[in-house]
């Protein structure tokens, strides 16, 4: 936020990125759980191949959303820090998110490699 109270470019960008990430994750959730949402019946059954593709696309969307949150957090901290102390304190949550994201992404890659073998 600027001194006048109106949002600046960085705040608007971070808000837009968060909104897009939320929409992507919501769509992935809907795709994964649409069988539970829609009534069961022959007209709602999906082909087997599409059912197997749902978890892949859901995981891919979640991975991209997590990386987007990490990058957006880093941009906010780097652009808003006024001195080194504030930067050091502000970047700690981003580093924690980054480590968690590396772990989850690595686990996903190892699991996908095991499935191919």
Average pLDDT of span 14-41: 71
Distances (CA, A) of 113 to 55, 90, 117: 15, 36, 6
Of 3-7, 21-25, 36-40, 55-59, the one with minimum mean pLDDT is 36-40
d(CA 55, CA 29): 9
| Contact yes or no for 32/55 (Cβ under 8 A) | yes
Average pLDDT, the chain: 76
pLDDT of residue 35: 61
pLDDT in tens, 58-104: 677 788 888 888 988 898 898 888 999 999 999 999 999 899 888 88
Q: What is the pTM of this model?
A: 0.54
Rounded CA gap, 87 and 78, in Å? 7
Q: Which residues contact 98 (CB under 8 A, 6 or more apart)?
A: 70
pLDDT at 84: 92
**Higher pLDDT residue, 13 or 40?**
13
């Amino acid at each position: 936020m600027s001194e006048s109270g109106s949002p600046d470019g960085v705040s608007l960008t971070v808000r837009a990125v968060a909104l897009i990430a939320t929409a992507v994750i919501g769509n992935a959730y809907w795709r994964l759980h649409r069988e539970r949402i829609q009534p069961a019946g022959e007209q709602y059954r999906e082909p087997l191949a599409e059912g197997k593709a749902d978890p892949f696309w859901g995981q891919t969307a979640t991975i991209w959303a997590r990386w987007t949150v990490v990058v957006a957090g880093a941009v906010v901290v780097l652009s808003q820090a006024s001195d080194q102390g504030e930067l050091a304190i502000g970047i700690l949550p981003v580093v924690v998110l980054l480590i968690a994201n590396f772990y989850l992404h690595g686990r996903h890659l190892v699991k996908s490699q095991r499935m191919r073998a």
